[in-house]
Amino acid sequence: MHSASEVPVRVRRLPHGEGLDLPVYATAGAAGMDVVSAEDVTLAPGARHAVATGLAVAIPAGFEIQVRPRSGLALKHGITVPNTPGTIDSDYRGELKVILINHGADPFAIRRGDRVAQLVLAPVTRGTWLEVTELDETDRGAGGFGSTGGVVSLGS
């Protein structure tokens, strides 16, 4: 039985994922499930790689899985997800891979079984476009990047 806040996601373990843990919440309050690598790879500084997880999933309609960086890897080693959050759509049935990039100064070794990212199951709201000739006015208006300030060193 699942609680109202739990949504079952069907998962298929691929042959190279045998023996690895399924994604899991590290703590009771965690929003993301840690997912592990199904391969050994070393990321050179500046390099990117789609890290295999050995898993394929069937995400329920109306949901997506967001792939997010692990904060410790980002802070300590400069390892992150370049398209964060990455999106896995509900109709995708291929292997779940995690695109990682090394922004650090040193090569970074990933070993099979290492936690490499977080997966967040999230509801999807689909929008529709309603074309109009004018938009309502706001205090911000058309002010774009940096227009609301907040960076002391830039004098804003």
Residue 83, pLDDT score = 95
In a domain, 103, yes or no: yes
The pLDDT value given to residue 103: 98
Q: pTM for the complete prediction? A: 0.87
In a domain, 137, yes or no: no
The pLDDT of residue 139: 86
Number of structural domains in the chain = 1
* Domain span including residue 30: 10-125
Residues of the chain scoring pLDDT < 70? 1-4, 151, 153-156
| pLDDT reported for residue 142 | 87
Query: Residue 82's pLDDT is what?
Result: 97
Q: Which pLDDT does position 40 carry in this prediction? A: 98
Classify residue 68: in a domain, yes or no: yes
pLDDT at position 140, please? 85
**105 within a domain of the structure (yes/no):** yes
- Residue 138 domain-assigned (yes or no): no
pLDDT at 3: 56
Residue 141 belongs to some domain of the structure: no
136 part of a folded domain:
no
Which 3-state string (H, E, C) describes the chain? CCCCCCCCCEEEECHHHCCCCCCEECCCCCCCEEEECCCCEEECCCCEEEEEEEEEEECCCCEEEEEECCHHHHHHHCEECCCCCEEECCCCCCEEEEEEEECCCCCEEECCCCEEEEEEEEECCCCCCCCCCCCCCCCCCCCCCCCCCCCHHHCC
CATH number of 83's domain: 2.70.40.10
